[in-house]
Structure 1
């Protein structure tokens, strides 16, 4: 299992087989774990997800290469 790093981007596979790119935002003061979908810009916490998913691989952040 991949342990996500704050502000890193990950390729995610949803239970439907669809692949998405999510940025790991980390945990808040209530220990809720937050992510941002890079395609839609939506932010959400893991407790609110209604489907199964898994991290496939960490991706390089093009903004960090500047």
Structure 2
């Protein structure tokens, strides 16, 4: 898949994630490994990484704290 398609897929997935509440996110498999904040493409590792790791960790903690 080329980079343009990956970017489109990432924006689509972000839109889907933004429409889910924390309980729904928490019910997903591997939800703690997801990135919930803005991302950038790491060309060396071929993965999306959070631009702000602290903000992403804060969102993961917020989801963890959801009953």
What range describes the TM-score normalised by the shorter chain of this pair?
A: under 0.3
Q: Normalized per residue, which structure has more strand? A: 1
TM-score by length of 1: 0.27
Larger Rg belongs to? 2
Bigger RCO (CA 8 Å, 6+ sep): 1
TM-score by length of 2: 0.27
Q: Normalized per residue, which structure has more helix? A: 2
